[in-house]
Amino acid sequence: MNRAVALRIAACGIMGLGAALLIAALLLSTYTEGKIAKIPLDLDATLVSDGTGTAFDPASLNEQTFVIDRDVPLVQQQQMTVESPSNADVVTLQVGTTLRRTDKQQDNGLLLAMVDTVTVNRHTAAAVSSESNPGGAVQKPRSIDDDQPPTNIALPHEGLAYRFPFDTEKKTYPVFDPIAQKAFDANYDGEEDVNGLTTYRFSQNVGYDADGKLVEPVRYASLFDDEADADVTATAAMWGVPGEPDESITMARYYAAQRTFWVDPVSGTIVKREEHGYHYYAREPLKPEVTFVDYKVSFNEETVEAQVASARDERDRVALWGRILPITFTAMGLVFLVGGALLGSFSLRAESALIDPGLDESDHRFFGQRGPSGEPVPGAEAQTEKLPAPRPSDLPPDRPV
C-alpha cells in the first residue's frame, strides 16, 4: 500500500468520525436530553420549615377548657422518599409531613401528621393514575405505639405534586393539596434570586383570596373512620365561647392555606417554600371561633441550601447532556470533517505525483510549461530534446562521411 492510498483511507476515517460526532450531537440535543430531564429515582430529602403561630395545646383535652397558646415555636418536617411503582416514566413519591410544637414533648407537641403517596410523571411532575394504580393514597393515622402495618386510603391526585415540571414556564399550574384533597392554582408572580439561583416565584391560595381574606375555606376531610377530628362536640365552657357552660355545641373543622413556592425553572425543584396554614373550628365556615392552629413557616437555611445544591446538580446533569456535549461534539465533528477533506485533497495530489513526478514540481503543470507571467510558452520557444550526432568513427566503412 503506497502513501497516497494510506492517506485516502485515513481521510475517509476522519470524515466518518466527524459525521458520527455530528449525528451524536443531534441525538444528544433531542432524544437523549428528554431521557435525562427526569426526576431522579434515588430522591431522598428531608425538608424542614421553622416558624411560629397560635396553636392548640393537646394536653388540654383532659382539662375543663381547651387551651390555645399564642406565639409558640413550630416546626414542619417533610420526609420525601421514592417507593414502588417507579420506572423510566413515572416515580412514586411518599411524603410524610408533621407539624409540631417544639415547646412540647412527643404526642403533646404533635399537631398535624400525614403520609401522602403519589405517582407522578418524571418529566412533568403531574400526577398519573391507572387501573392498577389509583395515582395516590394517604395513610390512616396511627398512634406512636401502634405496631400494626399502616393502612392506606386511596386518594387520586391531580395536578402537580411536590415538584414542578422540567423547563417550568411562567404560567399558572394546578398544585395538589393533600389536606384539602384537591388541586388549587399556583400563579406565577415573578423571578427572584435564592442563594445565587434565579427562580420563578408562584403563589397558591386555598380558601383565601389574593388579598389574604378568608373567602372559601375547605371542610376538613378526616382520616379517622369516625371523623373524630372533623366534627367535635363539647360544652360551651370547654370551647370557651359565650353560652350556657354546660350547653353542648358541635363545631366543624375548616382549613385554609397560603403558599409561596420558589422554583428552579430548569429542574422544577422547589428550592424554597413559605406556608401559612389555618385550621379552626366553627359553626359557620366564614366565622372562625376556636383556632386549632394558625401558623407561618418557611424552609430553614439548611434546607434552602440543600435544595439549591440539588437543583444545581440536576441543572448540571441536564446541561451536560443537553448543551455541553452537543456543542462539543458539533465543534469536533466540523473540525474532523474539514481536516478529513483537506487530507483527502492532499492524498489526491500525492497520488498524482506518484503517477507523474514532474507534475509535482513547481515549474511543471498538467497543461505544459508556463512562462514567468503564467501564460503558455509558444511552441517555437519551447524546450526541445537535442539528439546527439553520430561520430565519424561510429559510421559504417562503406558509408561516406
Are 14 and 42 within one domain? no
**Residue 364 — very low, low, confident or very high, per pLDDT cuts 50/70/90?**
very low
pLDDT for the residue numbered 324: 65
Gap between the Cα atoms of 205 and 211, Å rounded: 10
Judged by average pLDDT, the poorest of 54-58, 172-176, 350-354 is 350-354
**At residue 21, does pLDDT exceed 80?**
no
Longest alpha-carbon distance in the chain: 166
Q: Which domain holds residue 147?
A: 36-299
78-82, 83-87, 171-175: least confidently modelled range: 83-87
Checking if the pLDDT of 109 tops 70, the result is yes
Distance between CA atoms of 113 and 99, rounded to whole angstroms?
Answer: 7
Is 264 found in the same domain as 141? yes
CA 290 → CA 100, 118, 232, 294, distances in Å?
19, 32, 11, 11
DSSP secondary structure string for all residues of 254-295: EEEEEEEEEE-TTT--EEEEEEEEEEEEESSTTS--EEEEEE
> What average pLDDT does range 100-109 have in this prediction?
86
Residue 166 lies in a domain: yes
Supply the pLDDT for residue 56: 92
Average pLDDT over residues 349-359: 59
* Secondary structure, 3-state, 64-133: CCCCEEEEEEEEEEEEEEEECCCCCCEEEEEEEEEEEECCCCHHHCEEEEEEEEEEEECCCCEECCCCCC
Residue 393 falls inside a structural domain: no
Residues 146 and 200 in one domain: yes
Pick from 101, 52, 66: which is nearest to 251 by CA?
Answer: 66
User: Looking at residue 93, what is its pLDDT?
Assistant: 95
pLDDT at 350: 63
What pLDDT does 249 receive? Answer: 95
Inform me whether the pLDDT recorded for 380 exceeds 60. no
- What nine digits make up the cell of 183? 388541586
Does residue 366 have a pLDDT over 50?
no
Pick the more confident residue, 224 or 393: 224
Top-confidence range, 65-69, 140-144, 204-208, 329-333? 204-208
pLDDT digits (tens, 9 = 90+) for 295-304: 999 999 999 9
Q: 162 and 238 share a domain?
A: yes
Q: Are residues 193 and 332 located together in one domain of the fold? A: no
Give residue 14's pLDDT: 79
Domain membership flag for residue 12: yes
More confident position, 158 or 5: 158
Each residue's pLDDT tens digit, 124-167: 999 997 666 677 899 887 666 667 777 888 899 999 999 999 99
Compare 326 and 236 and report the one with higher pLDDT: 236
Instruction: Indicate whether this model's pTM tops 0.85.
Output: no
**Domain co-membership, 120 together with 212:** yes
Percentage above 70 pLDDT, the chain: 78
Q: Which residues, at least 6 apart from 396, have a Cβ–Cβ distance to it below 8 Å? A: none
Burial 213-248 (b: 16+ CB within 10 A, else e): ebeebbebbebeeeeeebebebbebbbebeeeeeee
398 in any annotated domain: no
Q: Are residues 15 and 85 in the same domain?
A: no
Q: Would you say residue 230 lies in a domain?
A: yes
One domain for residues 260 and 338: no
Which of 371 and 335 is assigned the larger pLDDT?
335
Residue 48 within a domain:
yes
pLDDT of residue 145: 65
Q: Pick 373 or 86 by higher pLDDT.
A: 86
> Is the confidence at residue 357, as pLDDT, over 60?
no
Segment 96-112 shows an average pLDDT of 89
Say if 311 falls within a structural domain: no
- The band of 34, judged by pLDDT with boundaries at 50, 70 and 90, is low
One domain for residues 110 and 259:
yes
Q: Is residue 250 part of a domain?
A: yes
pLDDT of residue 365: 47
The predicted structure's pLDDT at residue 2: 61
Q: Do 13 and 152 fall within a single domain?
A: no
Cβ atoms of 257 and 214 within 8 Å: the answer is: no
pLDDT at residue number 4? 67
Average pLDDT over residues 87-92: 92
By percentage, how much of the chain surpasses pLDDT 90?
Answer: 55
In this structure, the answer to whether residues 219 and 80 fall within a common structural domain is yes
Averaged pLDDT, 264-273: 96
Answer whether the bond into residue 390 is a cis peptide, omega within 30°: no
User: What pLDDT is stored for residue 22 in this prediction?
Assistant: 76
Name the domain count of the chain: 2
* Mean pLDDT of all residues in 110-129: 93
Higher pLDDT, 269 or 369: 269
| Confidence (pLDDT) at 11 | 72
Together in a domain, 11 and 67: no
The pLDDT value recorded for residue 393 is 54
